[in-house]
Each structure stands twice: as structure tokens, then as C-alpha cells.
Structure 1
């Protein structure tokens, strides 16, 4: 039987059992789960291995690429700038990034980028994964292109480029790249093991990403001009790329956050706990309220499933995530299943990360099982 390490409050023993079961079955290779309730870390567990050969155990300080769970960190960065009066969510993006106004994008607002409704959900081809590593090339390309649908009318998941879009606002406003802003204004004050990308000193403790089975998505039956096809081919995603040094060194606030469940749960508890984490004040109630201002609800033009978007985060949509109560909750997750969920009414935050990617894009059977176990224990 695979050992599960760490600590948990006795009432959350079912969460530990759920992780042990998934590790024993081989569904999980390595993973970590954390739960914070108003500053009390009631679950901090991990187990399994950080490499496919199962020769390196997943340890307390193991970090992993969390894919689109990174978007929550990037959204928090923007909200911090909103809190400081440096960014207005309802202002045109071009207020901060004048070049973005090209080609019919003058009226796109910051909130449209945050809620995936801008119409700029990927890069016009030709554009490759390595092109994303070149910041200037990436953002200049986005500034030039036209939106793929009428901005503000529907969501279309900004799968790989949201971090570049929002990160360029951060850079224009603060003079710092997103990864540096996150290091200075989020990770350092909170004392968390969290970063956009990863440095050479961290390479030995990063878990190897195990790609998922191919997406059950037949793009040949969809119009090549559709936002779905254009997003998934602009560029075509590569799970294996996450194991490369080039990926780790890049600044991609939609894709390459490297962290663990403990750090994520402490960071995102700023939303669950009213904006402050152990005396570090990041957000006010007014700024947090923006998250729950619904921007779009319906079948997402890129993912093809019903989604409900606030500003920067997903909101409960029973048709897609039936295990989440339809109340004041916000969340997002990453390709393969990682997820962080905030419950402000309960002052609770939960996070799960792993390295064996499951099929699908929004959660997985594993993240659903852990979430159900946590909610059952929390009452």
C-alpha cells in the first residue's frame, strides 16, 4: 500500500483514504491535497512518486506544473492592482496597453480578458509552443490580431494566452513582468512556495508531468474558423513540453505555475478569508466582490461545455461540476485535474495538484472524489 504523508484533522480521514485509494490503484502517480479553514491547515497530505519510473518519492517540498490553475494566481495579481487603484476592470485594455486597440479591439475591457469573453482566446497561426516563451513576440502578435467573436457576448476559454494578455497589463502598469510581480507581491509576503515558471535551483524537486490520453475531441467535424479549433491549434498544446527547461524558464501566467497544494491553499485563502492572510492584506471585500460579478453563462465557445464566469474565476455551474454547491464559491483548475476552490462563506480553501494528468480539461474523476470527501468532512 502506498504511504500517504503529512497531517490531517481526524475528521478529514476520508480525504486521506481517498488519496491512498487513488495512489494504490495507479490512477495517481504522485499528488498532494491541502485544506485551509480560516487559517487552520486541516489537511496537508501528499504521496506517491514524482517520476514515471517511481524512483523518486513525492516529498513535502515537491512542486509541479499546475497548468491552468496558474490562471488563479494571475487573476489574483490583477485583483491586487485593482485593490491599489492601478487597474480598472471596466477600462479598455488599451488604457494600459495602447497597441492592443488594433484591429477592432479598442473596446475590449480588462474584465473581458479576466472572464474569457474578449474574443482573443488564442494566437492566429502560424504560432508554436516555443513562440509562447518569447514574451515580446507573443504580446505583439496578440496586439495585432482581431477578435474571433464579438467581445463580451460569450465566453471562449483563453486556454494558453490569458497569462500573456493579463501579464502585459501587469508589465505596463508596474514595470515588472508577471513572474516578478508574483514573486514580489504574492509569494514573498505570504511566504509561499509558488512561482510562475521555475528556476534552475528548483529543477531537482519538480515532479515529472505524465501526459494524459488524447482529448476526446474530433476537431475535424468543427469549422476551422471556430474559436474552438483556432484556440486548440493556436498553438497546439503539448503536455510533454512542461518537462522541458525552456517551459520552466518562461513567463506564462496561464500555464506554467510551479507550486504545491499547501502553497496554493494559503495563497488563494486570501479570497476565502476576506482578503487578509495572517496580517498580509491583499484584497478588500469590495475587490473580492468583483469575482462574483457574473460575466458569462452558457456553453463556452472553446471548451464546448456549460460554464459560468465571474471576473477571473469560474463560478458554480451544476451542469458541469455537480459536486460544487451553487453558492458563493469560486474556483479554477488545470489540464489534467489540478484544482483550487474557494468557499468564502465557510472561510475554506481546498487545493489538489498531481503529475499524472487525467483526461479532460475541467477537473477529473479524482478531483471530484477528493472534493466530495472534503465537503462531506467539512459538513
Structure 2
């Protein structure tokens, strides 16, 4: 307890000192004009006001927000700058790292493979990947792997993600040899980095054409349906990537200290007797807290496909994908998913407080289930820094938010929540008006 009290006093003192410095720094800082561009359907005009306000208050440096409603793009906003110096404005074609939003998108790819008959959720992973069946992993099913129940949250020794592109065979051998950190199926805990490492390998093993994971996504989903998203950025698209990432200051994060759920998660991180959080966050050798932002904008690193964190796209592209699904699964006379598959996307397999992050979660097959402000179910995924992509079947919505000014925690970001809630507020007003006319 003395340690925790000392740490709390130190953190509060540091936060107070930083806040004073930040206050005087911001007073002397030259204010830049806020470039906001894009389109908003007049029925949702309040969303544009909230988007602009986040830049005026300094919460945003660069960001994009998009919504599809009943198959139509009704919000498509981008603004701010790709660097803090304000030298380069965020443009329509700019894309940025989506972090764990990529997990949700590859969970949809798995669903596509299930429809095609290449995968079965109930079968063991080893049915498609025989070498996987060792060291306690023999009974892990595809469904368990997708829903963070496998216990494969990390490695005995952190794995270099660059190995996946330089020596894929050696990379697979490391995955195959790893033991679960708990009995598979006995509990669930968020697989921060390893989810995509194992799931992507499974998809590749099940693919009859033996394609790479980025090629599979591109050919099965992105190209046929015009989805502006990549699992690893190809050389031809590198010029569009936002060149810098930033972390919000302590002053900008101050509101989180008053959030009850955030405090519980901090407590979990400190008192985690199993050390699961530390195991999960150190799974990849190259990624540490000190170098993460710079590494994720590195030209070579951006090319590595790993759906745990390394997908890149536009908010428009992510919203379109979920919007197609929410609007029946058909776009330009082409069917992305059967209706029977779509109905499963917002169904939770398990819920509760996970053992890695200590977060309250509802999980489907690789998708997180959320409650919308109107009480409907949303399905999709959040990402580190505030990134977000989801669909709402009941209201026929696809929605996405991306930023280069990263918040400290996944699943909780006031900027995204404000935009989402404002959109739903406008939608509720729209529906009330429609009902009054009838």
C-alpha cells in the first residue's frame, strides 16, 4: 500500500506540474486556423459542429469521421493537420493506422471464409493448421481463438513481427510451439497483439489459393466492394499514410481520472497477480511504449500485414464496409454476406470483465458488441488511441473514426463518443419527425 500511495502522490504532483507548464505553453502558442473539409447531410449538421469543436479545444490534431446510413454516405469529415507544426493539412485521401479496428475487419474476413466453406467456427484450429496441435493447444477451436479464449496472449520470449515477412516458416514455428497462459476456454482475456498473429495464420492455412493475408482481404472484400482499407500498406499507397502520430498530453487526458471504469482498469493493471497484461503488451519484440508511435509510421513497418494492429485506411472506407453489412450486405448488386451470417454479427458469445485489460466486454466471434445511445446493438471494434469502426443492423448504420492524436486507452475515447452520440441524437430527431408526419 505504501508503494501505491507513493506512486499516486508522485503521479498527482507530476500531473499538477505538467498542467501548469501546459497552461502557460498554450497561452503563448500561436493558434493555427482549423481546416475542416468534407460533407455532412443537413439532417446531421450538429455532427460537424462537434467535430470542429474538438479541434478548437485542442483535443484533435488530425482526424476523420464518417457514417453510412441506409446505404448512403451522410457524414464524411476530415480536418486538422498530419503534423503538429501545422504544415500539412489532413486531406480526403489520407489514411492512418487503425490499430485494433483491424481485428474487427479480419473477423469479418473469417466470416467470409466460413460462408465459402473454407472455415468452420466449431472445428479445432488444428483441422486447418495441424502443426498448431501441440503444447496444450489441441482443443482450441476457431471460435475460441477469435473470442480471446485461447490463452495465447503472448510468448515466452517476445516475437519479432518483422520475422513474419523475412522468414514466415520460422515465424510460424514460434506460434506453433507456444503454450497457452491459461486452460483454453476457461476464461477470456484480450489478446492485444497475438490475436492477429494467430488468426491471420489460420486464414492463410485455410485458403485454398495459398494467398498472403493482405492479398486475401484485398481480393475477397476490398476490391470487389471498394473498401479503402489495407492490412499492411502496399508501396503504391504509402504516400497517403499520415506521417506522424502523437499522444494526447496529461492535461488532455485529465478527464479519464474521474471515470470509474478507467480507475478499475488501472487498479487491475497494478494488482494483476498473473501478470497477463504485461505478457500481452510485450508479445511483439519491436513494440514498446517508447517507440510505438514512430514505429507505426515507419515505411517498412507499415507494409507488414498483421490484423492485431497494423491495418490502415480511411474512416470513409471502414464506415462503408460496416454500412454495407448493416444495409443488408449488398452493394451494387454484389452480395458481401448472406443475411443469415449478418444476423450473427451483433450476437455476444460471452461477456464480463476480461483477465488481461480488466475491461468489461461483450465479445462475439472476433467482434466487440456495444450498446448504441438508442439502445440498439453495435458490432465492430475499437482501437488504441480512440480509433473506432462499427455497424448497427437495427438502424442500418456504418460508422468510423480515426485520429493521429492518440488517447491512452482502447475502448474509451470522449472525442469518438461525442461524435457517435451526436449522430444518434440527430437520428432520433429525424425518426421522431418522420413518425409525426405519418
* TM-score, normalised by the number of residues in structure 2: 0.80
Correspondence list, 1:233-312, <5 A = 233-235=282-284, 236-237=287-288, 238-312=292-366
- How far is 1:375 from its partner? 0.8
Q: Deviations over 1:166-193 (max 9, x none)?
A: 1112211221111110111111101222
Among candidates 100, 113, 136, match of residue 81 of structure 1: 113
Q: Is the 8 A contact 1:168 1:177 kept in 2?
A: no
Q: Distance in 1 between matches of 2:375 and 2:301?
A: 36
Correspondence list, 1:276-355, <5 A = 276-316=330-370, 324-355=373-404
Q: Deviations over 1:228-274 (max 9, x none)?
A: 22101223542321011221110111111110011111112232122
1:35 aligns with 2:67: yes
- How far is 1:116 from its partner? 1.1
Q: Which residue in the other structure is 2:408 paired with?
A: 359
Correspondence list, 1:56-205, <5 A = 56-128=88-160, 130-131=162-163, 134=166, 135-174=168-207, 175-205=210-240
What SS does the aligned partner of 1:46 have? strand
Q: Which residue in the other structure is 2:432 paired with?
A: none
Q: Is the 8 A contact 1:209 1:240 kept in 2?
A: yes
- How far is 1:217 from its partner? 4.8
Q: Distance in 2 between matches of 1:78 and 1:308?
A: 19
Q: 1:208 to 1:25 in 2, by over 3 A?
A: farther
Q: Which residue in the other structure is 2:10 paired with?
A: none
Q: Distance in 2 between matches of 1:129 and 1:170?
A: 17
Q: Deviations over 1:46-79 (max 9, x none)?
A: 1111123221111110111111111121111111
- How far is 1:163 from its partner? 1.6
Q: Is the 8 A contact 1:117 1:153 kept in 2?
A: yes
Q: Is the 8 A contact 2:67 2:76 kept in 1?
A: yes
- How far is 1:198 from its partner? 0.8
Q: Distance in 1 between matches of 2:331 and 2:158?
A: 43
In the alignment of these two chains, the number of paired residues is: 373
Q: Distance in 1 between matches of 2:172 and 2:374?
A: 37
Query: Which has the higher mean CA deviation after the structures are superposed, 272-281 or 98-107?
Result: 272-281
* TM-score, normalised by the number of residues in structure 1: 0.92
1:222 aligns with 2:272: yes
Larger radius of gyration, structure 1 or 2?
Answer: 2
Q: Is the 8 A contact 1:334 1:363 kept in 2?
A: no
What SS does the aligned partner of 1:315 have? strand
Q: Is the 8 A contact 1:196 1:258 kept in 2?
A: yes
Q: Is the 8 A contact 1:209 1:357 kept in 2?
A: no
Q: Deviations over 1:313-334 (max 9, x none)?
A: 11126xxxxx655533212111
Gaps of 5+ in 2: 1-32, 254-264, 429-438
Q: Distance in 2 between matches of 1:69 and 1:97?
A: 25
Q: Distance in 2 between matches of 1:39 and 1:260?
A: 17
Q: Is the 8 A contact 1:35 1:43 kept in 2?
A: yes
- How far is 1:131 from its partner? 4.7
What SS does the aligned partner of 2:302 have? helix
Query: Which has the higher mean CA deviation after the structures are superposed, 110-119 or 147-156?
Result: 147-156
Q: Is the 8 A contact 1:292 1:315 kept in 2?
A: yes
Which has a greater percent of helix? 2
What SS does the aligned partner of 1:330 have? strand
Q: Is the 8 A contact 1:90 1:109 kept in 2?
A: yes
- How far is 1:27 from its partner? 1.1
1:19 aligns with 2:54: no
- How far is 1:133 from its partner? 5.3
1:377 aligns with 2:420: no
Q: Is the 8 A contact 1:170 1:176 kept in 2?
A: no
Q: Distance in 1 between matches of 2:141 and 2:51?
A: 41
